[in-house]
Amino acid sequence: MKFRFCGEGDCPDWVLAEIISTLSNLSIENLEQLSDLVAQRICGQAFEEAKIKSLTSTLTNEGKTAVACINFMLTSAARYSCTESIFGEEIQQLGLPKDHAAVMCRVLQKHSAAIRQTLISKSFRINELKSVRDISTPGQTPPNYATLELKISQELVDGLPKDTTHVLNIDRAQMKALLAELKLARDVMQKYENKPDS
C-alpha cells in the first residue's frame, strides 16, 4: 500500500513493526507526551531524556525505537504536507488504535508548521562538519599519521539528529592531497559565487 504521509510510498517495515508492537501498547497519555517531546526535539529544543525514559519505562531499549518511529512519522507527515485526517486514517490502517491515532493527529496539528520550517532551514545541515582538530600524540598516533578529531552537527544516530565527535587516523600524505583538493574545490566554488549574473 502507498501512504500519503510517506510521500505516496510504502511505509518502512520497521515503522510498521513499531506501531504494532510499541506505540499501540503505550497509554494514550504517554504517547501524547512522548510525541510532543519528539516534535519539540525535531524543532530544535532540548531533548529531555529523563522524561522520555519515564514515559517509555515499560518498553525495551529505553524507548529509542519508539522515539525514532514517532520522529519518522511526524517529519514525514510534515514534509509531505499530509493533512491530519489523512495521517490519522493511514496510521490506523497500519494498526494504531483510533484513540492513539487521534493523539498523534493533535501533535501533528500543533507542530507541523514548525517541523516543516525546521526541515527547510536544516535541509542542508544534517551531518554538517563543524570543526576538525589535530590531536596527534607522540607514542599513540602511528608514525606518518595524524589523529584528527571531527565534530559533526546533527548527525543522524538512531533516526535522530545528534551532535557527535569522531576520532580517526589519516596518513599524512593523504591528508596533504585531501587538503589540496579541498582548496581547489573552494576556489572553484568561489568563482561561481563571484560570477556576475548574465
What local confidence, expressed as pLDDT, does residue 50 receive?
A: 80
Q: 40 and 109 in one domain?
A: yes
Of 87, 88, 79, nearest to 116 by C-alpha is 79
What local confidence, expressed as pLDDT, does residue 61 receive?
A: 63
Q: How many domains does the chain have?
A: 2
Cα pseudo-dihedral 38, 41, 46, 51, rounded to 10 = 0
What local confidence, expressed as pLDDT, does residue 125 receive?
A: 61
Residue 58 domain-assigned (yes or no): yes
Q: Give the whole-angstrom CA distance, residue 156 versus residue 153.
A: 9
Q: 136 and 43 in one domain?
A: no
Q: 95 and 27 in one domain?
A: yes
Mean pLDDT by 10 residues, the chain (198 residues): 90 91 90 93 82 78 82 93 94 94 95 90 73 91 92 77 89 91 91 71
Q: 49 and 84 in one domain?
A: yes
Of 66, 84, 88, 77, nearest to 115 by C-alpha is 77
Cα-to-chain-centroid distance, residue 63: 16
Q: 66 and 154 in one domain?
A: no
Residue ranges making up the domain that contains 54:
2-122
Q: Are the CB atoms for 52 and 37 separated by under 8 Å? A: yes
Q: Give the whole-angstrom CA distance, residue 150 versus residue 75.
A: 27
What local confidence, expressed as pLDDT, does residue 114 receive?
A: 93
